[in-house]
Structure 1
Amino acid sequence: MNKWFLLSLAIATEVAATLALKAALGEPWWYAVVVLGYAGAFTCLALAMRAGLGLGVAYGIWGALGVALTAILAMLLFAEALTPLMVLGLGIIIAGVVLVEFGSQHALRQRALKTRERTS
């Protein structure tokens, strides 16, 4: 399976599990969704790394998008606050993850160049 698809699935299941945690405060049967969701999220995250995503990149994207989506959906589903300052903070987190991804890609290119130089 595609590593990015697996990471997307990990993010979706983690967000669903986290939202179910809030729902479980009033309806305890939602705890089953919490457990299954987190188990699925960690499984998909591990599979994405096995498929080639680096730990820092996979965890960073998973965490940042999970936080952002959870905050937005909590506002829509549970009427929780999402202030402009919170949106700015989420934007900074996402920007940081993008920088980590760019840095990771640069490091991979540098490693490939060094490998080619040694074998030439």
Structure 2
Amino acid sequence: MTWALLLAAIGLEVTATLSLKASDGFRRRRWIAPVVVGYLASFALIAAVLARGMAVGVVYGVWVACGVALTAVLGRVIFGDPLTRTMRVGIALIMGGVLLIELGAAAG
């Protein structure tokens, strides 16, 4: 259940970030609600995950890494944002770092 909450938090944060892009600097007002609700709900779920005892380094690492990767890929798909080879390597390195954090937490 804890991991499901974390995945939901990631999904909400990515949705909020993509909505922020879609809002065009809040010039498109219909996107303001998904931005605000998405970020608030994401933070609430992160708080719930932390309250369940998951290590803060693991929570934050997974949340940020998945958020960066998903936002970059979906930004490419939805908005045509660049996703260069260098960016893909960077995403892979971030994911590798999170994996090492998770493995280190499990060993400790």
Moved over 4 A (4+): none
Return the alpha-carbon distance in structure 1 between the equivalents of residues 99 and 47 of structure 2.
20
In 1: Cα distance, 2:101 partner to 2:53 partner = 16
1:59 maps onto 2:66 in alignment: no
For 1:31-110, what aligned pairs fall within 5 Å after superposition? Answer: 31-107=32-108
Cα-to-partner distance string for 1:67-115 (whole Å, 9 max, x where unaligned): 00000000000000001110000000010000000000111xxxxxxxx
RMSD: 0.8
Q: Which runs of 5+ in 1 are unaligned?
A: 108-120
Aligned to 1:111: none
Q: Which runs of 5+ in 2 are unaligned?
A: none
Equivalent residue number for residue 31 of structure 2: 30
Q: Deviations over 1:45-75 (max 9, x none)?
A: 1111112211000000000000000000000
Residue in structure 2 matched with residue 20 of structure 1 by the alignment: 19
TM-score (norm 2): 0.95
Amino acid across the alignment from 1:55: V
- Work out the percentage of aligned pairs sharing the same amino acid: 43
